[in-house]
Structure 1
């Protein structure tokens, strides 16, 4: 069996800098598994995208994104527009790792490496928004800004707690924004607190916000929080934790493959936890656009096997 070439693109400051500490062991494990692996350490915003574009041009068989959701987002943007897209592996060593959680990719680096070595992959949908791409989530509104406002050093030191601290700081500025949200399935033109367009069921650490979102059905799950006061928002957030929010009158949820959103106000967009421009936006689902390494058994610390089977309900093997 011919040796495959892999390009490992990693963020040296992700998580608690575990990637920097584990790099020799990771390379050894990948090499022993038959992947001739070279590395690229990112040096700033956008660098992982350039590194992924370079890896595609150089004909690597596999690209591995090692870090958090931000690193994965940049790597996807470096691959998505290319005709010959290498298979994508994930080493989830960041703070939240939402997308790895949705795919049941284990957090431990050894198990994640073994998934890539095993070579089992599935085709998944990704999203295109204006001239950018995302793999997990698009958000807009008052509370969606906090993920890219948290300083990277604070994320390294405090992990998920840093997001909650920043969220509490933003609560006094929580205010409605006039938006026009339009798709074939739904049209809204009113004041809303925020919207979320989910490609997977794992959104900002919550697995019940869009519980039926699937990674290969050609559709997004769109959730809109209508105008509410702070007390109502806290009540709805409690419902979300229990997965009981979908019937609340403040929540609108629908499924679509294409949605357009605009606003007379200045609204920043959050793409996979990163700043992704401003409204207006056009969001389109690209079905089965990337091949990604997964655990075929669905056994991991993130999800039950039944949930993994639902993620791939349209797969020909079932």
Structure 2
């Protein structure tokens, strides 16, 4: 193990007390890996720690948390000059860990830490929204976005990813479509969408595989639009294994797309909300590097 390559590990405060994670860090330190740990308390801490990582000349920045934490760190990395940009490592410590699960990041802490620090670095895409916001995994709109935003923290703590689905069942009375128009290269659709998924990764909302063919290094986003009013079977199919040929789902693969609506819509970017009436979403190919397992299904 390279004793001179510093790793700055940025942990979401909610997961910082994980005993098996502490043990794993101590094990790698004994093997000679220099690891500095920082803990976030509020939004903005992640970006500040990434700047500190550059000052420390860290070669790897590890995001320890859920999709929101990974989003914050990846966004901060994308804003750096390429010559000084550390590699991203991931440790799944969140509720759903949708991106980490899709990418095949180990759940066992020592394996996850080892991969995050010494795994092979691979260039991956990010998606940029309206020139200022980013997502590494998925943007979701419509009913799915509302459920992700509204699911109570206690339910998420108790049940993990399936909490989104269970909460969705209790809110079927709020089911309504968003009237909108989507366009991209050789693609145009206008109508009422119950759920919109724009995937760099494959799943969101605690395991819903909205974009089952998405790849994170192909320079494209996978678009999925659920148009059917029979949303319950559609979501059930996605939870229990995927229904890639569902006729009520419109799919496309695009390097960019624009979305307009006559009313305000909200998209969750890796769980972080963004509201508006117009969105331009584009891929930034290979803009950051990430340490991923050799068997990662998200790589082309």
Normalising by structure 2, what TM-score? Answer: 0.90
How far did 1:160 drift?
2.4
Quickly say closer, same or farther: Cα 1:32–1:120, change in 2 above 3 A.
farther
Task: Report what 2:249 is aligned to.
Answer: 251
Quickly say closer, same or farther: Cα 1:212–1:160, change in 2 above 3 A.
closer
Task: Report what 2:149 is aligned to.
Answer: 148
Is residue 2:166 matched to residue 1:174? no
How far did 1:101 drift?
1.4
The CA deviation string for residues 181-227 of structure 1, in whole angstroms up to 9 with x for no partner, is 1101311121211211011223334475322211111001100112x
Greater shift, 116-125 or 44-53, is seen at 44-53
The CA deviation string for residues 273-307 of structure 1, in whole angstroms up to 9 with x for no partner, is 222343421111011111111222x2xxxxxxxxx
Question: Would you say the 8 A contact 1:155–1:162 is kept in 2?
Answer: yes
How far did 1:52 drift?
2.2
SS in 1 for 2:42: coil
**C-alpha distance in structure 2 between counterparts of 1:63 and 1:217, whole Å:** 23
Task: Report what 1:46 is aligned to.
Answer: 44
Quickly say closer, same or farther: Cα 1:78–1:163, change in 2 above 3 A.
same
How far did 1:23 drift?
4.9
The CA deviation string for residues 14-72 of structure 1, in whole angstroms up to 9 with x for no partner, is 4xx6x443453233133234431212111123332332233234432110111111111
Question: Would you say the 8 A contact 1:30–1:117 is kept in 2?
Answer: no
**C-alpha distance in structure 2 between counterparts of 1:233 and 1:24, whole Å:** 42
Matches within 5 A, 1:234-249: 234-240=232-238, 241-248=240-247
**C-alpha distance in structure 1 between counterparts of 2:258 and 2:203, whole Å:** 23
In structure 1, stretches of 5+ residues that fail to align are 299-307, 314-318
Q: How many corresponding residue pairs?
A: 295
Quickly say closer, same or farther: Cα 1:168–1:287, change in 2 above 3 A.
same
Normalising by structure 1, what TM-score? Answer: 0.85
In structure 2, stretches of 5+ residues that fail to align are none
Find runs of 4+ consecutive structure 1 residues off by over 6 angstroms: none
Quickly say closer, same or farther: Cα 1:223–1:161, change in 2 above 3 A.
closer
Greater shift, 41-50 or 59-68, is seen at 41-50
Task: Report what 1:311 is aligned to.
Answer: 298
**C-alpha distance in structure 1 between counterparts of 2:277 and 2:59, whole Å:** 36
**C-alpha distance in structure 2 between counterparts of 1:80 and 1:198, whole Å:** 18
**C-alpha distance in structure 2 between counterparts of 1:115 and 1:33, whole Å:** 14
Is residue 2:30 matched to residue 1:32? yes
Question: Would you say the 8 A contact 1:8–1:40 is kept in 2?
Answer: yes
Quickly say closer, same or farther: Cα 1:33–1:122, change in 2 above 3 A.
farther
